[in-house]
Amino acid sequence: MVVVDSIKKGIVIDHITAGRGMKLLEYLDVDTAHDTVAIIANAVSHKLGKKDIIKIENKVNVDMDVIGLIEPHATVNVIEDHVIVRKVKPTLPSRVENVIRCRNPRCVTATERGIVHTFVLTDEENQEYRCIFCDEIVSMKAE
Ligand SMILES: [Zn+2]
């Protein structure tokens, strides 16, 4: 049983690559006006050297696909009554819709409205995704 101080109920995303916490938070679409969110940047980690941690209070569901897309090595801890009740490891999603936006100006998603930006996983090692419309490749890997 691990006790996490300062959060009674919510989600702690641990083992985020140092400096990537903000980026992950942007993609997660967390409502910072209503949810209590804390980013601990550059925390000392035995595993990673430095890491970021995100704490979201009173929220028990996050989009695991988005976490898997940005930070597949993260650990998601679900906290209830100050105790971790569940630890979830994200996996790279094989397909994502409306998470990554295609940057190719000639892509149909750029010229036409209302198209679902769809990317499929093509290279697991390099976290590379391909736009299904124009074959543009996007790497989600941390530099
Ligand atoms: Zn495209």
Tell me whether domains 10-88 and 95-139 share a fold.
Answer: no
In a 10 Å sphere around its CB, with 0-12 CB exposed, 13-18 middle and 19+ buried, how is residue 134 labelled? Answer: middle
Reduced to 3 states (helix: H, G, I; strand: E, B; else coil), residue 75 is: strand
- Residue 59 has what pLDDT? 87
CATH annotation of 10-88? 3.30.70.140
Q: Is the dihedral of CA 24, 71, 121, 63 positive or negative?
A: negative
- Residue 3 has what pLDDT? 47
- Residue 140 has what pLDDT? 93
- Residue 5 has what pLDDT? 57
On whether the CB atoms of residues 115 and 127 are closer than 8 A, the answer is no
- Measured in Å, residue 115 CA sits from the centre of ligand 1 at 11
Place of tokens 């695991």: 64
**Residue ranges covered by each domain of the chain:** 10-88, 95-139
- Residue 1 has what pLDDT? 40
pTM: 0.86
Task: Fold for 95-139, please state it.
Answer: SH3 type barrels. (2.30.30)
Token couple for 95: 């397909």
- Measured in Å, residue 93 CA sits from the centre of ligand 1 at 18
- Measured in Å, residue 82 CA sits from the centre of ligand 1 at 44
- Measured in Å, residue 110 CA sits from the centre of ligand 1 at 8
- Measured in Å, residue 138 CA sits from the centre of ligand 1 at 10
- Measured in Å, residue 113 CA sits from the centre of ligand 1 at 13
- What residues does the ion ligand 1 have nearby, CB within 5 Å? 102, 104, 107, 131, 133-134, 136
- Residue 31 has what pLDDT? 79
Per-residue pLDDT of the chain (143 residues; tens, 9 = 90+): 444 457 899 999 999 999 999 999 999 978 778 888 999 999 998 877 899 999 999 988 899 999 999 999 999 999 999 999 999 999 999 999 999 999 999 999 999 999 999 999 999 999 999 999 999 999 998 77
Going from the C-alpha of 52 to that of each of 71, 81, 112, 136, the distances in angstroms are 11, 23, 37, 30
